Amino acid sequence: AITVPGQAITGLNFPSNQSYSDDLRFKFTGASLLDPYPATYIWRVNVRHQPGYFTTFFWGPDGPFTAQAYYGAHPYPDGGGSTTLTHKWEISIEGADTVTDLNGHSTAVNYGAWHTQALVVRRVNTNELEARFYWDLPDTTKVIGHTTIYTDYANGFGSRPYAGKALSFGDAPWAIGNERLSGVLRGIQIYAAELSVADILSEVAAPLDTAAGASSIWYLNLNPTPADITDKSGKGHHPAWAGPVHPSLWVGP
């Protein structure tokens, strides 16, 4: 497990949507970009209210939007629209915005509250992917699921080096400045494997404490800062800032 006694609790404080187009993302590309599946993402987020769209992260094009070969998980404006004031947690994939909880829970976003979340993406057959978004851990009954329906969706992601693709955090590559996170992001753990629910909960409590987590960790930074988003897993999968302007530093209590 990774433990650093006395380490400051920090995070990246992304601003709300603005008319100016500074690219505040950090992104994984090239050799640092993990395969799109199987993959497990764990993160902690506290979103501020804003109208319209949010982005926690997207695996997909590092440029104009296409409904093929992408996914993400974050708040979605009810019914869509850049002026919509209410939001639900969603999986965004294959042009769909899935906001319905598999167990009937309301997925309405609770602004200004911390959430520990996880997204698991796996291939279920030749053509299809399944994504499961645990949006309020440790309650694993709060989960949104989506299985792709488009023919050969799984193969549309391509293969290494995934030219023109990126794993982007904090904003959408195809709408820079208009789909920002608007909140604090920290506690980022990325695994190149489909982790079980039990392993996810164990990894949340103590990163790299499970055999599956330790063997598949891709990126780890529990306390990122604008000056340090480097990979702490020892794997060397470092992201980079997309531009010279960055989110501000958040320091926890």
Q: CATH number for the domain including 50? A: 2.60.120.200
Q: Which amino acid is at 150?
A: Y
Q: By C-alpha distance, which of 241, 203, 237 is closest to 225? A: 241
Residue at 3 is within a domain: no
**What pLDDT does 194 receive?**
99
pLDDT band at 90 (very low <50, low <70, confident <90, very high): very high
Residue 184 and residue 45 in contact, taking contact as beta carbons nearer than 8 Å: yes
Q: What's the half-sphere exposure (Cβ side, CA atoms, 13 Å) at 44?
A: 19
pLDDT value, residue 67:
84
Residue 2 belongs to a domain: no
The model's pLDDT over 136-148, given as tens digits with 9 standing for 90+, comes to 999 999 999 999 9
Residue 5 maps to a domain = no
Residue 158 included in any domain:
yes
When divided into structural domains, the chain yields a total of: 1
Q: pLDDT by residue (tens digit) across 63-83?
A: 999 888 999 999 999 999 999
pLDDT value of residue 5: 57
**What is the secondary structure of 15-81 as a DSSP string?**
PPP-SS-----EEE-GGGSPPSSSEEEEEEEEEPP-SS---SEEEEESSS--SSS-EEEEEEETTS-
Listed in sequence order, the residues at least 6 apart from 244 whose beta carbon sits closer than 8 Å to its beta carbon are none
Please state, in angstroms and rounded to a whole number, the distance separating the CA atoms of residues 174 and 236: 27
Maximum separation of any 2 CA atoms in the chain, in Å: 51
Q: Whole domain around residue 202: which residue ranges?
A: 10-251
Q: Provide the pLDDT for residue 97.
A: 96
Instruction: Determine the 3-state secondary structure of 198 from DSSP.
Output: helix
Please check whether residue 54 lies inside any domain of the structure: yes
Nearest of 107, 94, 99 to residue 80 by alpha carbon: 99
128 pLDDT band, cuts 50/70/90, is very high
